[in-house]
Structure 1
């Protein structure tokens, strides 16, 4: 808040007989910063929808893709990374790395900040329950919602939940790198949501834990889009690529929700023939064979 100097012609006000006692602020009253972010993200969503983006149809006859396109997109999305590991939000070189995935059951816990209404919390729990069941069915990997002993934590918090966010990070990820923790606590406005996945060790590509942050200031569809993207990225589809279509792993925001193409990416990733740590050269012939099998060798 800016404090301006008092104008020179301002006169002293008459002092009341009894000092007015200010009412304590209501705990459920959003701060000016939170209100500003809510208004901003509402405008962003309205603009995207007005331009025909944030589609929820999953792709159709206007978005065909071939087995070759699917295999290429898998390489760019599953084998490259969006950011350099341990370097905050510094973009990666784009080089292909290793297969990264979970080898243990994924147990998803949702932690809501007080800034999200009880009604929205109930709605989002239902959304996430349906979505985790879909992810499990598509990937063939055990993925479920739990209330304890979670290893995939989804934090739904906003500007007014910073104390809760710090406490949650202290509890679930005490060993998180300082650079990653700083991003969680001071998320730049252009970053709508994010996820960080942790491997079993520095030399491993087998995930054992993940923490996602979704801003509570988002309107419903944008919050749902964040759930779809961050959970899928936390499973191992870690990168975005401008040529992937129809896909949520594309910064053009054409699609809000996991598409039929993205489901095939998950099917490929969690095929038992692909194992954590497998290089791009080792994975490539397997991926090509799976892509042909999944598309029938023609446009999908």
Structure 2
């Protein structure tokens, strides 16, 4: 699986369309990569520290195999240190599958209040724009079918890697704002993920600084 993914990425790098970014590509990247800090300024937020994730299952059992696959794919695309947590103490990315009342004190009530009937996401970042904690709740039983649940899981996990603003103009993307039952990263998603986690863009970078870099691409 990993070998096939790496081969795909090598092929992707040779696609002429991604060799030079067009105006729409740059705008799409700005849309997904920028979000507000505590002062309301648009900045880049991304992970730098190692990610140790754990999947918690509520009353309805759900296999974590696909979630492990998603994290594995993101690891390959971002070069982040991502692995399942070996103990509760090291968990900094929690994925809860079930209703918010299924997990008691594991999800603080102040956080749970901000989640909808379908779940939600929560994260913390420091003054440098570095994300260091993430909570993802997906109320699997409330989705219309398994495909919709699988799509929601993938979309919410990748969102917590710094892609907090959805796209409105790319219906086949995992970043699309509406439900689209996407259960894999397409080539454009891969392009955007790799771009954010490439060396050109650092946590805390402002919209103006991002524009300056994009102007040279």
The equivalent residue for 2:3 is: none
CA RMSD of aligned residues (A): 2.6
Q: Aligned residue for 1:167?
A: 105
Instruction: Find out whether 1:105 has 2:50 as its counterpart.
Output: yes
What TM-score do the two structures reach when normalised by structure 1?
Answer: 0.58
Q: Give me the whole-angstrom Cα distance separating, in 1, the residues matched to 2:182 and 2:121.
A: 17
Per the alignment, residue 71 of structure 1 pairs with 26
Pair 73,255 (structure 1): closer, same or farther in 2 beyond 3 Å: farther
Deviation at 1:181, TM superposition (A): 3.1
TM-score by length of 2: 0.78
User: Structure 1, residues 74-99: CA drift from partner, whole Å, max 9, x if none?
Assistant: 10111136xx97xxxxxxxxx87101
Counterpart pick for 2:201 among 265, 270, 274: 274
CA deviations on 1:164-213 (whole Å, 9 max, x unpaired) are 3232124xxxxx8x3x43123xx2x4xx332111013xx34111100010
**Distance across 2 between alignment mates of 1:193 and 1:134:** 23
The structure whose residues are more often strand, as a share, is 2
Report the 3-state secondary structure (helix = DSSP H, G, I; strand = E; otherwise coil) of the residue aligned with 1:132: helix
Would the alpha carbon gap of residues 207 and 283 (structure 1) be closer, same or farther in structure 2, given more than 3 Å must change?
same
**Unaligned stretches of 5+ in structure 1?**
1-63, 86-94, 171-175, 293-300
Number of aligned positions between the proteins: 194
- Aligned-pair distance for 1:133? 0.7
How far has the Cα of 1:69 moved from its partner?
2.1
CA-to-aligned-CA distance 1:74-127 (integer Å, 9 cap, x gap): 10111136xx97xxxxxxxxx8710100110111111111x213xxx3x3x110
The gaps in structure 2 that reach 5 residues or longer are 1-16
- 1:183 is matched with which residue? 114
